[in-house]
Amino acid sequence: MTENETKVTKLEDLLGSMTRQEDNDKIDQVAIVGAGVMGRGIAQTVAGAGIDVVILEKTQKYLERGQEQLKKSMEIEIGRWAMTNSEMKSILSRTKWTLEFDEIKDADIIIESVDESFQLKRLIFKKLDEIAKDDTIFISNTSTLSLTRIAEITERKDKILGVHFLNPVPKVPLVELVRALETSDETVEIIKKFAARLGKTPIEVYEYPGFVTTRTIVPFLNEAMHILLEGVSSAKDIDTAMKLGYNMNVGPLEMADSMGLDEVLSWMTHLWNDLGEPRYRPCPILRKLVRDRKLGKKTGEGFFKYDENGKIIS
């Protein structure tokens, strides 16, 4: 019996201990650093679960673009009958936008969702550690980087966890929970409950480059790109083959376009550098598309061309 258990000798003591635990698990406000594709998707999901969200961006330009794109993506869902107008209004009413770190200092959870840059994430976590409440949990949405090394910059290593959301965040019912070396069991349990509140099924993974989902999907995407590069088949037919042959909702090349080809290239580069295995070496056609700023759906062209609603036009 633990010390805390020996103190619970009366009903009011038991109820008091339950209340304290509920308070520890209570999530009233979530802050998100970065309003890119993933940040916006996380914000929509969190606000859709009835939790207030504050989104931090670096400039007014990026902030306004994030606001416009979040609203636009939900309007598309309304057009598909996948969301109601009242649901969109409810999500937007719970979402606040800011350029100031002080505006997110009272959040119960802060989710970092910026580019896959180790130094950038470290700088952000250091700043967050200085301003946030002592019991605030920090989450990184990294898909390849070491949480332990990111956590080293803070004084709350037990409250740092990786939660890898997959795109599109509102629709994919999975998150990967990645423990850093000193992440506490209490932090993991709180975030498991938080994930369930968002309608996500969490799986625990060891801290290792690419975790499960990224490490598995990258060779698949890379091989489809090599098939295209070698002229074996067209982009359209490659995707059709995988959709019809393996009951996939979307083919590998459109999937890569949806993820953002710059992001896919970043994942491949990290895995290639960290693990040194040829299956992660980025296909030359991917490098060329990124060099030409044809990044997929977010720029209107990647392996395919897209209309303003993200539908393939050629």
Contact 51, 27 (CB under 8 A): yes
What secondary structure letter does DSSP report for 157? G
Cα radius of gyration (the chain) = 21
In degrees and rounded to multiples of 5, residue 51 shows phi and psi of -110, 135
Same domain for 236 and 278, yes or no, is: yes
Peptide bond preceding 168 in cis form (omega within 30 of 0): yes
The answer to whether position 302 is within a domain reads no
Q: How many helices (H) and strands (E) does the chain have?
A: 13, 8
The answer to whether position 137 is within a domain reads yes
The answer to whether position 200 is within a domain reads yes
The answer to whether position 298 is within a domain reads no
Same domain for 187 and 239, yes or no, is: no
| Alpha carbon of residue 22 to chain centroid | 26
Residues 6+ apart with CB under 8 A from 71: 88, 92
Same domain for 49 and 158, yes or no, is: yes
Counted domains in the chain: 2
Same domain for 283 and 155, yes or no, is: no
Q: How far apart (Å, rounded) are the C-alpha atoms in residues 51 and 310? A: 28
Residues 6+ apart with CB under 8 A from 237: none
SS3 290: helix
Q: Looking up tokens 């067209």, which residue turns up?
A: 234
The answer to whether position 176 is within a domain reads yes
Same domain for 106 and 193, yes or no, is: yes
Return the pLDDT at 6: 46
Same domain for 51 and 140, yes or no, is: yes
What secondary structure letter does DSSP report for 86? H
Longest dimension (CA), the chain: 75
Return the pLDDT at 16: 59
Mean pLDDT by 10 residues, the chain (314 residues): 49 54 72 94 96 96 95 92 94 97 96 91 96 96 87 95 92 94 95 96 90 94 98 98 96 95 94 94 98 95 92 87
Contact 186, 157 (CB under 8 A): no
Nearest to 154 by CA among 114, 127, 189, 120: 127
The answer to whether position 82 is within a domain reads yes
SS3 27: coil
Token code pair at residue 95: 């979402």
Same domain for 78 and 104, yes or no, is: yes
Give the relative orientation of helices 213-229 and 235-246 as an angle to the nearest 10 degrees: 130
Domain that holds residue 271: 214-291
Return the pLDDT at 19: 47
The answer to whether position 299 is within a domain reads no
Peptide bond preceding 278 in cis form (omega within 30 of 0): no
pLDDT (tens digit per residue) in 229-252: 999 999 999 999 999 999 999 999
Q: Looking up tokens 């999937």, which residue turns up?
A: 255
Return the pLDDT at 163: 95
